Amino acid sequence: MYKSKIAGIGKYVPSQVVTNKDLEKLMDTNDEWIQERTGIKERRYAHRTQETTATMGVEAAKIAIERAGITAQDIDFIVFATLSPDYYFPGCGVLVQRALEMKEIGALDIRNQCSGFVYALSVADQFIKTGMYQNILVIGSEKHSFGLDFTTRGRNVSVIFGDGAGAVVLQRSNNNISEILSTHLHSNGNDAETLAMYNPGTHANYWKKDLADFNEATLGDMFMSHTMIDNAQNFPFMDGPAVFKKAVVKMPEVIMEALQANNYTTQDIDMLISHQANLRIIQFIQHTLKLNDDKVYNNIQQYGNTTAASVPIALCEAWEKGKIKEGDLVCLTVFGSGFTWASALLKW
């Protein structure tokens, strides 16, 4: 069995900064509420026509590939995680393959939302462990700004999310220092509708006949109807407090699972990179695990919640700032729609 390591990491965030004050002009919200409840001060929004989820992923990937000391031609496989793909299909992976003029390698898209990057990393890790591939490009990227409800109706969701991308090259490890030690993936579909974007979809209210926003009259015989758009049913739905309550339980749990699987304790963690969903959630986890401030890196204040991109962007930034060094024990953890949650423990 081979081992894998992160050989290169990159991030890309659009240049357009959107502050809480900017959002105040669009909806009934305020800087104080957003900062107090989430920690977010500002986020980035992609250029409407010049940047897409795939192009941002490509920019992050170029940096990761260069830092790995290889070329796009050396990549054997692509795993792309996003909930905001350029097209409903095909996935973004093939757009990266085309943009980087790669060989005709496999491209897999992952749809695990906020947990997407760790799920993607885990898939890539298994391919390297078995010896099938040597260099895998793993990307998390989101262009949320294209699909949010910027009226007061959508304020509990729209103020949280931001755009951006992160990427790593996962490579067969030839040293005894750097490696992915283990990944731990979980799901529980009982809460599938608690954080979801129902449309476009083929559900026809099959799963939740009692959804407040849905009735027979709004159902078309297509997966997207004019009525759905007129009723703003094409935006994400989130029961924030319900997600919050599960996240603060499941993330510490899955971190402990990773530590125990490798005979470590919380005090062995050099750096915890959590999904950047809400600063209060991360502070709760930090408190539960009794981790010092220098063992946790957060950047939700600047970027908001970038879903599948949040962990690789934070990991990249922490490394760029010299907060992660070779051999450090790094723990990644995520929680999101599904619900799905996961962790990864690695030696940097």
Closest Cα to residue 166, out of 296, 336, 308? Answer: 308
Give the residue with the Cβ less far from ligand UT7, 26 or 63. Answer: 26
**Residue 50 CB-density burial (10 A; 0-12 exposed, 13-18 middle, 19+ buried):** exposed
30 flagged as catalytic: no
- Choices 67-75, 142-150, 155-163, 282-290; region in contact with ligand UT7 by CB under 6 A: 155-163
Mask for 47-76, x = binds ligand UT7 (CB under 6 A): ------------------------------
User: For residue 224, which amino acid is it?
Assistant: M
Tell me which of 16, 24, 35, 37 binds ligand UT7, using CB under 6 A. 37
112 binds ligand UT7 per the rule CB under 6 A: no
Q: Tokens 């723990």 label which residue?
A: 331
184 flagged as catalytic: no
Tell me which of 112, 305, 306, 343 binds ligand UT7, using CB under 6 A. 305
Residue 150 token pair? 């910027």
- Give the nearest distance from C-beta 280 to ligand UT7 in angstroms: 7
- Residues facing residue 9 across a β-bridge: 168
275 flagged as catalytic: yes
Give the residue with the Cβ less far from ligand UT7, 26 or 105. Answer: 26
Tell me which of 61, 277, 308, 330 binds ligand UT7, using CB under 6 A. 277
> Contact at 8 Å (CB) between 180 and 4?
yes
> Contact at 8 Å (CB) between 188 and 338?
yes
Instruction: Identify the active-site residue in 135, 144, 275, 316.
Output: 275
Mask for 197-226, x = binds ligand UT7 (CB under 6 A): ------------------------------
Contacts of 121 (CB under 8 A, 6+ apart): 79, 138, 168, 170, 180, 183, 332, 344
Counting DSSP H helices and E strands in the chain, the numbers are 11, 13
Q: Which residues are near ligand UT7 by CB under 6 A?
A: 29, 33-34, 37-38, 114, 155-156, 159, 240-241, 243-244, 247, 277-278, 281, 305, 336
